[in-house]
Structure 1
Amino acid sequence: MNQAAFSARLTRIPRAFDPEAGADAAAGFPGLAPEIRALIAATAGCSPYLKGLMQREADWLCAALSAPPEGALASLLAEPREAGLDTLGTALRQAKRRAALLTALCDLGGVWSLEEVTGALTGLADLAVDLCVKWLVAEEIRRGKLPGATPSDAETAAGMVVLAMGKMGAGELNYSSDIDLICLFDQDRYGEDWQDARAAFIRVTRKMTALISDVTGDGYVFRTDLRLRPDASVTPVCLSMAAAYSYYEAEGRTWERAAYIKARPCGGDLAAGEKFLKSLTPFVWRRHLDYAAIQDAHDMRLRIRDHRGLNGPLAVENHNIKLGQGGIREIEFFTQTRQLIAGGRDPDLRDATTVGGLSALAAKGWIPAGTAAELTTLYRAHRELEHRLQMVGDAQTQTLPATPGGVARIAAFMGEDEATFREGLLARLTRTDQLTEGFFAPSDTGAEETELSDHAAGIVEGWKSYPCLRSDRARAIFRRLRPQLLARLSRAASPDEALVAFDGFLAGLPAGVQLFALFEANPSLVDLIVDIAGTAPELALYLSRNARVLDAVIGGSFFEPWPGVRGLTADLAQHLAGQSDYERSLDEARRWMKEWHFRVGVHHLRGLIDSFEAGKQYADLAEAVVAALWPVVLADFSAKHGAPPGRGAVLLAMGSLGAGRLNARSDLDLILIYDANGVEQSEGRRPLPTRSYYARLTQAMVTALSAQTAGGRLYEVDVRLRPSGRQGPVATSLASWRDYQETEAWTWEHLALTRARVVAGDPTLGAEVETTRRAVIAVKGQGEKVRADVAEMRARLFEAKPARGEWETKNGPGRLMDIELIAEMLALIAASPARQVERQLAGAKDLLPAADQEALARAWRFLWSLHCAARLLSDQPLQPEALGEGGRAFLLRQTGESDETALLDRLRSVVALAADVTARHSA
């Protein structure tokens, strides 16, 4: 902060509306610099109230303006701290007079910024509240009215806290503002005596408000308003935190959520206040994108305008700069509503200040940077005018004068001639309205609906009965959406198919307000839904039951580069670290995974990635879930049964996860391997023998991944690839696993080992598992037995899992499983550590002619493209005619074929060629 003398920092001076009054005031300060006397004259010539303060505080003001104003502010705030309870009211009122005078002159002279002016006023309010509460609580303790409390408890107000709300909470108090407070106390601190404590805190609250707001011969400190507390008409002026929390959890409304954006402990037990505010985080900051808040804010704006009679034509006289059209509240609502929409997902958006909130929203892409900058400039101008209106007579008003003469006074106070002031004000109000109104009040476009066939009209008529359209509010929003929805559906590849799929999506929605508001605020989402409905009806059906995953599309990072396993793991770990208990961690993991899983599917569906990149991303996501969830499961299990005995355990991914390539519906093959290191049981509240410990830990991990809850499940998990399969223990010691692989395992188990990969657990143990894997592969791939066993396995596989028609991509000769089996065989024989099919084939140059290697690789790539795309569209065997036109078009795009006939011809050719190669090399 600039500490130069007051006079050196003057940048502007008002125009004296009453020059005689101004000259009279300036005459009382002959010793001040001419430029300061000019400021005094101009100020007194506009404000009778400030002129009176100058005359009353003349001696103090001379000293204050002869030095940097920051020092004067610090001194006047220090003085009330030395007062006793009997003199506190007088000391605070003197501090208020002086602070009002100093901040006004710093504001009018351009010495302080808007934030410095409002910050100085807020600092005085904080001081007043804190001193009053602590002195009055000390008095209650002295009188024995607070059960169990001692004099030392007065420093924390014995568990009472005052929350600053509104502008005070944000450090934005206006010049003649009242202060909005909520008074609470910690009921748990008093046990069965909490009602006696409540009575004492109610007395403290009433005395505090009187001490601060009563008008005496010395004036007043701040007008105080306690009506923002829960259910103010029926609750006491101070209530327990538990009662307040219960109210917000059960009945809290959108306007109360918005109010808590700015909430801040300002007096009493600040730590208890912070703890209470933290407990309200789920109420204020909802995890999903809350676009329904826009309609709530719009309705609130209209109610305020109707109540105050502010719906007339825009004019300067009698215009309310706070609540009227284009006013301060419009900018505040615009900012807070956007914060409520997205702040639950992004804590960076939770700035309590209006200017800070606009800046954060722009930085995260929620509003254009130009809009944020323009609204910030308009907000500052509106607030300066608000201050001038209040400085005239210390009135809590935001309404411009009703007469031309009164307007002329305000124009002079703003340093402008009347005509310039009027023109500028109307331009600012109009621009504010232009920037904010469209956001709050989406217009009913009145667009004509697309002409529908009888079949389509019947489907649309049925929408009236759907659960998502039960409420008046949902129907009102959907009525505005319907024309553009039907227009977009009519442009789909197959309009009737797209409409039927969208109908399934709509029918599955349990509620509509949030999602329809989301669509209305983000029209591009309508295109996405229509695209999904016209291409992948099953994905549309999934969306109807998990609509919150759409939050991710507009959450700021949906189209950013893929973060990879490390980035995903770190992100999920951060989300899980913020959860209060184990079950919430699992729910958060499910929510997080579904959003990322949906992203991969949408990117694949829209051609942003191909099937190979989609397969990698699905695998990255699964690995990140396992890696981030493992320590959470382990910590919860350890809390009950003690830390893992010995060196701990690792999770070994097998099959497709081990190879790093999954499709949209893949399950996970996992094995748990542990090293007890001679330790026979765990040490904890409920110790377990080592073998039981790791077996139950495995079950806990499998349950965490696969349990079906209201939030769905993460993955199906298969542990049958462990030693001895279903007959073997679900967890295997490192020694047993090594011995089994070396002495008992069959060839198919060694083949599976070629794709195994450690994905979670102790790194040192994981390195040993990998060393063992490579050693076993090097030994067990030798001899003719491998090829003979593979030939036998192929025959059994073809019998047990035959191809299901010509469109089969996975099972049968020459298809994915057959090619992967041959690749594993070649990797085993070549002692190659490679896990992916392409690398296993490429690493077998001495075993496979180049032409055969290229033929298998090309076949596998084609089959994977088709298979991965088909699994995104349906969990049923591939039948193009059942997919619809949009789905068939997606398959053609993925494979590069021109039509369905060409695609089937290519599939037949590829399979036949691959089958010939696999048969020759497994014989």
Structure 2
Amino acid sequence: MSLPLLVELPPSLVSLVERAEQSLQTALSEHEALAERVAAWSQERRDAWRQVSALSDFVAEQAQRDPQMFVALAESGELERSLASGELRQQLEAQLAECADEDALGRCLRRFRNRQQVRIIWRDFSRQAALGETCRDLSDLADACIDLAYHWLYPRHCTQFGTPVGRRSGQPQHMVILGMGKLGAHELNLSSDIDLIFGYPEGGETEGVKRSLDNQEFFIRLGQRLIKALDAITVDGFVFRTDMRLRPYGSSGALVFSFNALEQYYQDQGRDWERYAMIKARVVGGDQAAGAELLEMLRPFVYRRYLDFSAIEALRAMKLLIQQEVRRKGMSENIKLGAGGIREIEFIAQAFQLIHGGRDLSLQQRPLLKVLATLEGQGYLPPAVVTEMKEGYEFLRYTEHALQGIGDRQTQMLPAEPQDQARVAAIMGFADWASFHERLMYWRGRIEWHFQQVIADPDEDESDASEASVGAEWLPLWQGALDDEAAALQLQEAGFAEPGTACRRLDDLRNGPQVRAMQRLGRERLDAFVPRLLAQTVEHEKPDLVLERVLPLVEKVARRSAYLVLLSENPGALERLITLCAASPWIAEQIARYPLLLDELLNEGRLYSPPLAPELAAELRERLVRIPEEDLEQQMEALRHFKLAHSLRVAASEIAGTLPLMKVSDYLTWLAEAILDQVLALAWQHTVQRHGRPQRADGSLCDPDFIIVGYGKVGGLEFGHGSDLDLVFIHDGDPQAETDGAKPIDGAQFFTRLGQRIIHLLTTQTTSGALYEVDMRLRPSGAAGLLVSSLGAFQRYQENEAWTWEHQALVRARVLVGCSRLAGEFARVRAEVLGRQRDTEALRVEVSEMRAKMRDNLGNKNTAAGTAPNAFEATSSFDLKQDAGGIVDIEFMVQYAALAWSWQHPQLLEFTDNIRILEGLERVGLMGAEDAALLREVYKIYRSAAHRQALQKQPGVVPGDQFQDERRAVMRLWRELGLELNNGA
């Protein structure tokens, strides 16, 4: 939202202006020179003073108590401008340099704080500073006071007690000060306390004094001095109320812990609310480098590597406790803790962070508004929802500042006194309290509604709070409370065709080793989930099939019960899981092998709408850019998760009918290209780091002068589920010249190692499997040839040594990723090789013989690859790919035509996919429109059937009575092209 408007002060506040004016004049009466300077103020500043002094008792009182400070602040110009980055810290640093003792330190900090507080409230209430600036200035003020006070105290503490030294490292130790909550997120409010946690790197003792201290004792005493410097109330007030209760063990724990002790505590005893608090932890003072190490140590505690929907349970429980406290203390008018308050927006954002942040690094950030923007950008929440939450949050935060800026009091309670109500309304830009309160309640209502959508228990039903949870009727059966007959009867009446088998499956799960080994919390989650699963299963037309395919997944994730929570918390995701598993055992197996794919079921819109090629590439780049360059393991996992997730989305879209066959292949091909692009970048970066960059023949450096050529299905844009990558690597560097790195090697070695690195990244098995199986046998000279060829060597081989079948393969070859210049050169070489005039009769013979060999080796043995007399009988079967009249026959006809006639019609080489080459043959008149259309349609039919078989985990073989007309038509056209079956059929 924009800044609240300034409104004319209501009559009820005019008396406050007069009182503030009188108080200031009284204070100035003792300072004639100051009074003259104030008299010279501009009308704009005087109007702002009247506005702010009427709205803030604190500003008016500070002006009266310390007129010199107030006038100097006004004349500095800082009331009318934003402070530059670091300016506030520089001012305090200069003042602390003159402090001789701790009493002077305390006075200096408090007076500086009061000056800055006046400046910040003035700019906020006079509408010169937006919410972001106010929060940033307050947080920068806290950072400066904490860190500079610490660094002032540390050397004096060392003089008294010695310098703490690490027992292991032998290095001097500094304390690390973590700011939590709003301070950690740079969102401090106008009168906030600060939540801190103190730590130090390692144990040891102090050195340089007669009586050494244990490091922990040294830092405990130092921490106590720092808290006193900040928190103690003196005649000058306080700096910041300091709360240390978020440390391990709370108020009963030691004030300071070593890093090891902190890590051990959070690993063994850390509670859910501590994860919630640690999201916003930031190093605000002390040793910044050591603090970064500490936060990295604690990251696994905060962000789990898997989807963690158990966080919702924890947040729900925390919210319930807060609601009980609000009711007990009568705090419904509290805009932070009450219904629809600030805390509910924070809970929404942090629920997503805790659930998804372990895998989606973009969510590992502190400021709430940035988190909300990420939730929108990454598709977790709709834009309209995020816009409402942002506007509601800003309205509440402005209101919070209005409440606190009046008297510099830490409060979020709406005032009951009419005068303060009028002040708040005026600060917020409303003519009266009623209109302000109406708008406030609107925003609280919207926030509460959004909160319920995210955090509410899916079993809750506001219209009937006593309603039993979903699936309660199945709980006795699952827990074994029914005898076999009663259990079978319940399943039969619910629609199971084989209730006895279903009972056995449930018994096997309940009594299996995975479930018996579960901890109590996991077993409770399983007992809550299975009845819910059964309730949704019986809604499906094939409940037996659903149970058969989903229970292996349940068994697989039983020990990681957060996945069960995910499905319990998201009934829509469970419904989609049941639908997809019932439709495809391939999908069921993929999700059982890689449960992290359950994440994809959460967003129905995203699940059934895979992104286009540019979006795919951008999304993958964005994921990888957040991972440290040196973290190869995490990069490989990110690549694999990306591939698994998008492969599932394509399969789901295919099953749902939102993607036709050709688009399925397009998406899977785009996915492979996006992955190969990043794999090449990672491999290039790694190899260059080790050996430097290779050189071109002219002595310039390659960048990268390397391409990955795709053959077969990926080259022909016909990629399927589980397809291999047929690849060839080509470079254009000087194989003799050395690289320019610290460990130079010649160009040939460099590109070979680059190729090996690419294959390693693609094929290494991690916990998320391999990316792709890679086949390099189509490179020059096959398995006996070099892994990577220069373009010149590739051209010479294709022109002088390649077999006809290798030229057939080249018809479907295209550059997938790499250097655009070299890609253009490859296209030229390909066109020259394929476009030369050939002996058509010899070509027919070679193509026919190669096809006959393939049928003999790979076709259906029982039907002589579909050419035996009984091949078309219903009792036989048909191999969609290899049998006569199948996919490969169509591919060979297309390849034959391209090789035979592209010298006359170069446009036949423009595309690498069969469909568009067939269209080209039709355009140039080499194939009749009816025959070309028939081949295109049959090719799509075959491939669609093959896709369906793959999703059913079935081989590409169908009953022999299918596609008989299509097969005969293909075989007819095969003969009409002059090709022979070579088996007499």
**Is TM (by shorter chain) over 0.5?**
yes
The residue that corresponds to 1:866 in the other structure is 945
> How far apart, in 1, do the equivalents of 2:549 and 2:525 lie?
21
Superposed displacement of residue 677, structure 1: 3.1
Q: Give the 3 Å change call, closer, same or farther, for CA 509–169 of structure 1 in structure 2.
A: closer
Q: Secondary structure at the match of 2:653?
A: helix
Residue number in structure 2 paired with 1:913: 969
Residue 905 (structure 2) aligns with: none
Superposition map of 1:244-255 within 5 A: 254-255=272-273
Query: 2: CA distance between counterparts of 1:736 and 1:415?
Result: 80
Instruction: Please tell me whether residue 490 in structure 1 is matched to residue 538 in structure 2.
Output: yes
Distance apart, 1:460 and its partner CA: 4.3
Secondary structure of the corresponding residue to residue 700 of structure 1: helix
Alignment map for 1:320-399 (pairs within 5 Å)? 322-323=336-337, 326-343=340-357, 352-355=366-369, 357-358=371-372, 361-362=375-376, 366-367=380-381, 371-372=385-386, 375=389, 379=393, 396=410
Find the counterpart in structure 1 of residue 464 from structure 2.
Answer: none
Matched residue, 2:718: 661
User: Given the alignment, which residue of 741, 747, 771 partners 2:804?
Assistant: 747
Change over 3 Å in CA distance of 1:196–1:630 after alignment to 2: farther
> Which moves more between the two structures, 227-236 or 912-921?
227-236
Cα deviation, residue 533, structure 1: 1.5
- Quickly say closer, same or farther: Cα 1:780–1:585, change in 2 above 3 A: farther
Q: Tell me if the contact between 1:316 and 1:425 (Cα under 8 Å) persists in the aligned partners.
A: no
- Match of residue 28 from structure 1: 23
Distance apart, 1:575 and its partner CA: 3.2
Q: How many angstroms apart in 1 are the aligned matches of 2:338 and 2:410?
A: 16
Instruction: Between 732-741 and 628-637, report the one with greater CA deviation.
Output: 732-741
Q: Could you tell me how far apart the structure 1 residues matched to 2:439 and 2:754 are? A: 70
Comparing 653-662 with 626-635, greater Cα deviation is found at 626-635
Superposed displacement of residue 442, structure 1: 0.7
Shift of 1:418: 10
Indicate the residue corresponding to 1:835 in structure 2.
912
2:148 equivalent to 1:131? yes
1:189 Cα offset (Å): 15
Listed as ranges, the gaps of 5+ residues in structure 2 are: 27-37, 39-45, 167-171, 427-431, 461-467, 475-489, 493-498, 697-701, 862-875, 903-907, 981-985
Q: 1:517 aligns with which of 543, 548, 565?
A: 565
Distance change >3 Å, CA 60–CA 827, structure 1 → 2: same
Match of 2:583 in 1: 535
Question: Does the residue aligned with 2:238 lie in a helix, a strand or coil?
Answer: coil
**Secondary structure at the residue paired with 1:670?**
strand
Q: Per-residue displacement from partner, 1:238-258 (whole Å, max 9, x unpaired)?
A: 556677567667776543443
- 3-state DSSP class of the match of 2:879? coil
Structure 1 CA distance for aligned equivalents of residues 916 and 728 of structure 2 = 24
Per-residue CA distance 1:357-414 (angstroms, 9 max, x = gap): 445545655445565565556656665776677678866565789xxxx777865765
What residue is the counterpart of 2:849 in the other structure? 792
Q: Is the 8 A contact 1:786 1:825 kept in 2?
A: yes
Match of 1:597 among 647, 654, 670: 647
- 1:14–1:415: 8 Å Cα contact kept in structure 2? no
Q: Percent identity?
A: 30
- Cα distance in structure 1, aligned partners of 2:562 and 2:764: 28
Which residue matches 1:503? 551
Amino acid at match of 2:914: V
Contact 1:615–1:662 at 8 Å: present in 2 too?
Answer: yes
Letter paired with 1:819: I
Q: Which amino acid aligns with 2:112?
A: A
Structure 2 counterpart of 1:630, one-letter code:
L
Instruction: Give the whole-Å Cα distance in 2 for the aligned partners of 1:745 and 1:427.
Output: 75
> Which residue of structure 2 lines up, in the alignment, with residue 606 of structure 1?
656
Matches within 5 A, 1:777-788: 777-779=834-836, 781-788=838-845
2:185 to 162, 167, 170: 170
Asked whether the equivalents of residues 649 and 673 of structure 1 are also in contact (C-alpha less than 8 Å), the reply is: yes
CA deviations on 1:166-215 (whole Å, 9 max, x unpaired) are 12223333444321123456779999999988776555433222211122
The alignment covers a number of residue pairs equal to: 876
Q: Distance in 1 between matches of 2:203 and 2:842?
A: 74
SS state of the match for residue 163, structure 1? strand
Q: Is the 8 A contact 2:736 2:748 kept in 1?
A: no
* SS of 1:784 mapped into structure 2: helix
Q: What amino acid is the match of 2:968? A: A
Query: Which residue of structure 2 aligns with residue 889 of structure 1?
Result: none
2:880–2:958: 8 Å Cα contact kept in structure 1? no
SS at match of 1:538: helix
Match of residue 153 from structure 1 = none
Other-structure match for 2:94 = 81
Question: 1:255-654 alignment to 2 at 5 Å?
Answer: 255-268=273-286, 284=302, 289-303=307-321, 309-310=325-326, 312=328, 315=330, 322-323=336-337, 326-343=340-357, 352-355=366-369, 357-358=371-372, 361-362=375-376, 366-367=380-381, 371-372=385-386, 375=389, 379=393, 396=410, 414=424, 433-437=448-452, 439-444=454-459, 446=468, 447=470, 449=473, 452-453=491-492, 454-455=499-500, 456-460=502-506, 462-465=508-511, 467=514, 470-474=518-522, 485-511=533-559, 513-554=561-602, 558=606, 563-577=611-625, 578-579=627-628, 580-640=630-690, 643-644=693-694, 649-654=706-711
Distance 1:169 1:908 in 2: 71
What is residue 238 of structure 2 aligned with on the other side? 220
Measured in 1, the distance between the counterparts of 2:794 and 2:310 equals 56
In structure 1, C-alpha distance between the alignment counterparts of 2:881 and 2:738, rounded to whole Å = 45
Give the C-alpha shift of residue 585 in structure 1. Answer: 2.1
Cα RMSD after superposing both structures:
4.8
Instruction: From the superposition, tell whether residues 476 and 430 of structure 1 become closer, same or farther in structure 2 (CA, over 3 Å).
Output: farther
The answer (yes or no) to whether the contact 1:26–1:38 under 8 Å persists in 2 is no
Distance 1:158 1:73, change over 3 A: farther
Please tell me whether the aligned partners of residues 577 and 601 of structure 2 are also in contact (alpha carbons under 8 angstroms).
Answer: no
Question: Residue 791 of structure 1: CA displacement?
Answer: 1.6
| Partner AA of 1:711 in structure 2 | S
Decide which moves more: 910-919 or 485-494.
485-494
Q: 1:866 to 1:352 in 2, by over 3 A?
A: same
CA 1:758–1:399: 2 relative to 1, 3 Å: closer
Structure 2 CA distance for aligned equivalents of residues 346 and 109 of structure 1: 40
Deviation at 1:235, TM superposition (A): 7.5
Q: How does 1:750-761 map to 2 (within 5 A)?
A: 750-761=807-818
* Letter in structure 2 aligned against 1:538: W
Describe the shift of the 1:217–1:570 C-alpha distance in structure 2 as closer, same or farther (beyond 3 A).
Answer: closer
SS in 2 for 1:713: coil
* Cα distance, 1:827–1:430 mapped onto 2, change above 3 Å: closer
1:173-184 to structure 2, matched below 5 A, reads 173-184=188-199
Q: Give the Å deviation of 1:61.
A: 5.0
Offset, 1:664: 0.3
Show the 5 A alignment for 1:141-152.
145-146=162-163
Which shifted more, 415-424 or 597-606? 415-424
- Assess if the C-alpha contact under 8 Å between 1:22 and 1:43 holds in 2: no
1:772 pairs with one of 795, 807, 829: 829
Moved more, 296-305 or 709-718: 296-305
Query: Aligned in 2, Cα 1:691/1:34: closer, same or farther, shift over 3 Å?
Result: closer
Q: Secondary structure at the match of 2:846?
A: helix
